[in-house]
Amino acid sequence: MINIQSLTFEYSNHSPLFQNFNWGISRGETWAILGPSGCGKTTLLYLLAGLKFPTSGKVSINGERIQRPRPHSGLILQDYGLLPWSTVRENVELGVKVRKFYGADGKHSPDNFIPKENIESWITRLGLGEVADKFPGQLSGGQRQRTAIARTLALEPDLLLTDEPFSSLDAITREGLQNLTLSLCAEQNITLVIVTHSIEEAAVLGKKILLLGAPPNQNPSIFENPNAGKVDYPNSAEFQSICRQLRNEMQKGTRHETA
């Protein structure tokens, strides 16, 4: 589904974050991107979303080179991106209204619109019916996050990109929304890529984990974590083992950076 070839990216007057970087993701996979601050995690997500573009090399999704934001890619940011002057229902409808204007390919007026019933079904499915007419400032953090998820899933994406979406939530709410996100992505066969700075969260969510280090990132470290998302996995010896591996690798990278 996703194919990154010979990617180099650098901000103006800075050293490259990525240099001749290659990475591939198959449809339906669940990935976590992990690494220290400043390593390029969010930049990589923005490259996948078509919000930033390579200095050289290319990013392709389903064989199409990404040269603009892709209509079938959903993006959920840390602050949820909700309009404070719009209700929950209006926020969930927002993406559909944009789709109506630009069309499913992002260029042309569409022949078929996503029905309003689809919006209402996601509002109900995510437990937002009782707060549908409230504004974001009247919601809990978990309700705001569920609103952002509903808005994205109403557009029927095949790729969901998330940037530390659970970091500001309490532990119980965070765990519930992590499980909800995994189950919905599996049900809808959505490819999930989540950026996180938390080793434990990467191990909970990512069946595959991409570990970035000090720039420039050239040869990514990839960890297989096939039991991510299973009940009681965080209590297992296997979970503790992969967390130790990830922590050791991150510490090695920090030592190399400061040497």
Q: Where are the alpha helices (DSSP H) in 81-153?
A: 88-102, 116-125, 141-153
- For the chain, domain boundaries: 1-72+162-259, 84-156
The answer to whether 76 and 165 have CB atoms below 8 angstroms apart is yes
The reported pLDDT for the residue numbered 111 is 46
The reported pLDDT for the residue numbered 105 is 56
* 3 state SS of 9: strand
Q: Give the architecture (CATH level 2) of 1-72+162-259.
A: 3-Layer(aba) Sandwich (3.40)
The reported pLDDT for the residue numbered 114 is 58
- Structural tokens at position 160: 């969901």
The reported pLDDT for the residue numbered 168 is 79
In Å, how far are 232, 234, 240 from 237, measured between CA atoms?
A: 11, 8, 5
**pTM attached to this predicted model:** 0.89
> Of residues 234 and 78, which shows the higher confidence score?
234
The reported pLDDT for the residue numbered 149 is 92
In Å, how far are 56, 109, 252 from 22, measured between CA atoms?
A: 12, 35, 22
Nearest residue to 16 (alpha-carbon basis) of 61, 55, 46: 55
Examine the pLDDT at 255 and tell me if it is beyond 60.
no
State the average pLDDT over residues 21-37. Answer: 96
Cα–Cα dist 25/60, whole Å: 11
- Percentage of the residues of the chain whose pLDDT score is greater than 90: 70
Cα–Cα dist 229/150, whole Å: 21
